[in-house]
Structure 1
Amino acid sequence: MRASRLLSILILLQMRGRLSAETLAQEFEVSVRTIYRDIDQLSAAGVPVYAERGRAGGFALLDGYRTRLTGFTPAEADALLLAGVGGAASDLGIGAEAAAAQLKLLASLPPDSGASAQRVASRFHLDPINWYSRAESIDILPALATAVWTEKRIRIRYESWTDLVTRDVDPLGLVLKAGIWYLVAAVKRQPRTYRVSNIRALDVLGGQGKRPARFDLARFWTTWAKDFEARLLKERAVVKLSPAGLRGLRGVNEAAAEVARDSGQPCKPDGWIKADIPIESIGHATGQMLRLGADVEVLKPPALREAIAREAQKVASIYQ
C-alpha cells in the first residue's frame, strides 16, 4: 500500500508541479506526518524532490525530472477503456483525437494487456443518458471546451429560470451529468454552475481567465451537487405507501424513496409504511403523487392533500 502511495505521490508531483503536504494528505486520506515520511522515503530512494517554505510553498521535483515508472498493471489495463464516457469526446469536438489516443495508449501497453483491455471494452459499455431521453445537441460545446482548455475569459448570454443575462466569466471546467453538460465558471473568483444548453451566445474575450488557487473540479462538483439537491428538496410531506407505491416512488423522487425505505414505519393496511419524505414543492409533488395512484396517501401538509384532490377530481370529470 505504501509503495503504491509513493509512486502515486511521485506521479502527482510530476503532473501538477508543486503540492503542499496538506493537499497530498487530503488526496491520499492520510496524515500530514505520513506525507512527510513518504517524501523522506522518496528522497532516500534518489528521487530529486525538494521542499519550499512559505505560504505558496510545498514539495516539487527538480526541473526536467520525469519518472518512467508508469507501466500499467493488468487490472489497470482492464479498467482503461471503462474510464471513458460514450459520446463525450465527440460532443467536445475531439472524437477523432480521442480514438487515435486510445489506439496509441493500447499500443504502449504490455503485450497481453492491450488485448485484455479491448476484451473488457467489447463486453462493457457505458451509456450515461437516462431512459426515454436524448443527448442534448449543443453546437456551442466544442468552442466552449476550447475556452476551458486554454483558460480564455469568455462572455456568455445565459437564459436562467428568471431572465436572460450577459456575464463575463472565467471558465474552470465542464461536467457531464446524466447526459447533460454543465459549465463551471468563476464570477469574481467565485465558482458558479451553468447548464450549457441554456447558453445562447458565447464570445471569447482577449484576456486570460483567472483560476482560483488550488481549484478542484471534482471536489467542487460533488459539494455543489449535494447542496443543490438539499436546496431543491427543501419541503416535507408525510405519506403512507404500499409496497408498489414505494417502488413507484423511486421513479419520481429517488431521494424521497431512499428516505422512505430507510425510515418508514409499518402502518395499516398491512404491508404499508408511513414516512416523512422530502419534496421540492406543492405543485411538483402533486404531479409525482398522482403518478402513484391509489398506492400512496398523503397525510400532510394539508395544501398537498387539497391539491391532489382537486387534480384527481378534474381527471375523474373527464372520464365520467
Structure 2
Amino acid sequence: MKLERLLSIIIILLNRRKVQAKDLAEQFEVSIRTIYRDIDSINAAGIPIVTYQGTNGGIGLSEGYRLDRNLLTNDELATIVTALRSISTSYGKEQNQRLVEKINSVVLPAHEEEFQHKTNRVLIDYSPWEGIERLRPKLQLLDEAIDSSILVYFTYSNAEGEVSQRIVEPHMLMLKGRQWYLQAYCLEKKEFRLFKLKRMKGLEVDRERNFIRRDPATQKHVEGKRKFKPSDVPEVVFQFQDEARHLAEEWFGIEELLPVEDGSWLVKKAYPENEWLYSFILSLGHHVEVLEPQHLREIIASRAEKIAIIYKNDKAT
C-alpha cells in the first residue's frame, strides 16, 4: 500500500545519498511515474527531496537534511510494526516485510529486546478462514491499478443477483468485516461505489487509459452505507433457547441478551430487511425463533418449509 511504500522510500533515502527512480520502481513493482508521485507526496509532508541530473544523478534528500531520530519513539515504531504485521495477514506484500526489517534496523541495540517484546504483544489477524488465496490476484491487480491511476473493467453481481458490466476508476482497497471491497468511481452511475471483490468476475485493467484522482470529499460511499426508510429497518425480536445461548453471545454480545422466565433469552435488534437478513436468520438454526415482526416470521416459515421439502425428497438411486 502507498503508506508503507512512502515510509520505505524515506528510510532508503536516509541511508543512501542518492537512488535511481527506476531502481525504486523495480523494488516496489510500480511505475516510475508512481515513484515521482510518491516523491511529491513526501515533499509535501515537509521532507525535502531533490533530483540530481546527469550520469550519476538520482533522487536524494536535500544536502544537510537529517530526520531527527526522536521524531518517532520506540513505542511509535513498535505500533507501526504491529500494524504492518497485522495488515500482512490479509494483504501480504514483500514491501511490508522489508519495511519491518528496516524499522528494526534503526532501533538501538540496547533497546532491541524490549522493542521485540512490544511488537509481539498484539497481532490483529484480518485473514478470513478460507478464500484469501483466490483473492490475492485481484488484490494485486487492483493495487497496481490504484497506484498507476488506470481504469478497471469487470463483471459484477450485486447482492440482489443483478449482473452488470462496470468500468471504474479505482481509488481504494478496503477491508470491512473480513471482506475486501474496492472503492471506485463508477463511470456508468457517475458516483463512488463499493464493490465486493468476491462478486467481481473477468477483472481486467486498461493500461492505456489513465484517470485523474477525484477529490476525496466527493467519495460519498466511502463507508458503504445504504439509506433505508424506517419501515425497511424493523426491530427483530429473537428468542434463543438456553442451549443456544453461545450463538446469541457470539453474534450479538453478552450485554444484548435479556433473560426470560422459562430460561430462554431475547435479543432485540434493528436490521434492514433484505435477502441477507433472511439467510442470516435461517443460518442460526432451530434453536432460535423470530417472535416479531409477524410478517418476517411468515417469510422465514415459508422458506424453512421449502428447505424441508427439498430434504424430504428421496433422491437416492
Task: Give the equivalent residue in structure 2 for 1:160.
Answer: 157
Paired with 2:221 and 2:105, the residues of 1 have a C-alpha distance of 35
Task: Give the equivalent residue in structure 1 for 2:97.
Answer: 99
User: How many pairs does the alignment contain?
Assistant: 248
Displacement of 1:204: 1.8
Paired with 2:208 and 2:131, the residues of 1 have a C-alpha distance of 35
Displacement of 1:160: 1.7
Return the letter of the residue paired with 1:209: F
Paired with 1:229 and 1:128, the residues of 2 have a C-alpha distance of 28
Displacement of 1:141: 2.8
Q: 1:288 aligns with which of 281, 287, 290?
A: 281
Paired with 2:126 and 2:170, the residues of 1 have a C-alpha distance of 24
Paired with 1:78 and 1:270, the residues of 2 have a C-alpha distance of 47
Paired with 1:108 and 1:88, the residues of 2 have a C-alpha distance of 26
Paired with 1:142 and 1:283, the residues of 2 have a C-alpha distance of 29
- CA distance 1:14–1:79, shift in 2 (3 Å): same
Q: Secondary structure at the match of 1:127?
A: coil
Paired with 2:45 and 2:264, the residues of 1 have a C-alpha distance of 59
1:42-89 CA-to-partner distances (Å, cap 9, x unmatched) read xxxxxxxxxxxxxxxxxxxxx999772353312113323211213445
Contact conserved, 2:155 with 2:165, CA < 8 A, in 1?
yes
Once the two structures are superposed, the pairs formed by residues 88-237 of structure 1 within 5 Å of their partners are 88-90=90-92, 94-95=93-94, 97-131=95-129, 133-138=130-135, 139-152=137-150, 154-161=151-158, 162-187=161-186, 190-197=191-198, 198-215=200-217, 221=222, 224-225=223-224, 227-228=225-226, 234-237=233-236
1:242-266 CA-to-partner distances (Å, cap 9, x unmatched) read 4554531354xx3xx25x944x655
Contact conserved, 1:158 with 1:164, CA < 8 A, in 2?
yes
Give the CA RMSD over aligned residues.
Answer: 4.4
Paired with 1:249 and 1:66, the residues of 2 have a C-alpha distance of 58
The alignment-based identity, stated in percent, is 16
Task: Give the equivalent residue in structure 1 for 2:271.
Answer: 278
Structure 2: runs of 5 or more not aligned: 1-39, 47-61
Contact conserved, 1:237 with 1:277, CA < 8 A, in 2?
yes
Displacement of 1:172: 0.8
Contact conserved, 1:82 with 1:124, CA < 8 A, in 2?
yes
Paired with 1:229 and 1:247, the residues of 2 have a C-alpha distance of 32
Return the letter of the residue paired with 1:301: P
- CA distance 1:86–1:278, shift in 2 (3 Å): same
Paired with 1:158 and 1:137, the residues of 2 have a C-alpha distance of 17
1:133-169 CA-to-partner distances (Å, cap 9, x unmatched) read 33241323323211111222x1312222344433332
Q: Secondary structure at the match of 2:83?
A: coil
Paired with 1:186 and 1:283, the residues of 2 have a C-alpha distance of 25
Q: Secondary structure at the match of 2:132?
A: coil
Displacement of 1:293: 2.6
Return the letter of the residue paired with 1:273: L
**TM-score, normalised to structure 2's length?**
0.60
Q: Secondary structure at the match of 2:88?
A: coil
Q: 1:17 aligns with which of 34, 41, 44?
A: 44
Contact conserved, 1:86 with 1:126, CA < 8 A, in 2?
no
Paired with 2:102 and 2:244, the residues of 1 have a C-alpha distance of 51
Task: Give the equivalent residue in structure 1 for 2:51.
Answer: none
Structure 1: runs of 5 or more not aligned: 1-12, 20-62
- CA distance 1:156–1:79, shift in 2 (3 Å): same
Q: Secondary structure at the match of 1:211?
A: coil
Task: Give the equivalent residue in structure 2 for 1:81.
Answer: 81
Q: Secondary structure at the match of 1:202?
A: strand
Q: Secondary structure at the match of 1:182?
A: strand
Paired with 1:65 and 1:244, the residues of 2 have a C-alpha distance of 70
Contact conserved, 2:145 with 2:205, CA < 8 A, in 1?
no
Displacement of 1:103: 1.4
Paired with 1:179 and 1:120, the residues of 2 have a C-alpha distance of 26
Q: Does 1:305 align with 2:287?
A: no
